[in-house]
């Protein structure tokens, strides 16, 4: 964790636009969609549910495609309706003062 945090700090201070996605846990099963995706900060999301690699990759791809920068957020799975609007999910991931 020490080195990961140092890398994040280095990237943040470099001036390079970036988005850091921190999944709660990656499951070994494959498959995209069908689950509610939750974003948050400071480890305040419910833990225990694993997110698929495809869902994580889809969120990261949306961040690249939309040229999102200045983002650093946790990504977990909830029990609600499936998330289909990834641009809104990224917008929800911004700190309130960053909007």
**pLDDT at position 98, please?**
53
For 76, counting Cβ atoms within 10 Å of its Cβ (0-12 exposed, 13-18 middle, 19+ buried), the class is: buried
Q: Supply the pTM of this predicted model.
A: 0.83
Q: What is the pLDDT of residue 84?
A: 92
pLDDT average per 10 residues of sequence, the chain (99 residues)? 86 89 83 84 79 92 93 90 94 75
CB 38 within 8 A of CB 75: yes
Report how far residue 17's alpha carbon sits from residue 28's, in angstroms, rounded to the nearest whole number.
Answer: 30
CA pseudo-torsion sign 83, 88, 92, 95: positive
Q: What is the pLDDT of residue 25?
A: 85
């Amino acid at each position: 964790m020490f080195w990961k945090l140092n890398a994040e700090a280095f990237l943040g201070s470099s001036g390079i636009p970036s988005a850091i996605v921190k999944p709660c846990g990656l499951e070994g099963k494959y498959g995209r969609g069908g689950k509610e995706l939750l974003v948050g900060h400071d480890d305040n999301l419910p833990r225990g549910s694993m997110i698929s690699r495809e869902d994580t990759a889809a969120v990261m791809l949306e961040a690249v495609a939309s040229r999102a920068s200045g983002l650093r957020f946790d990504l977990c799975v909830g029990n609600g309706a499936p998330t289909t609007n990834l641009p809104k999910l990224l917008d929800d991931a911004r700190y309130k003062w960053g909007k």
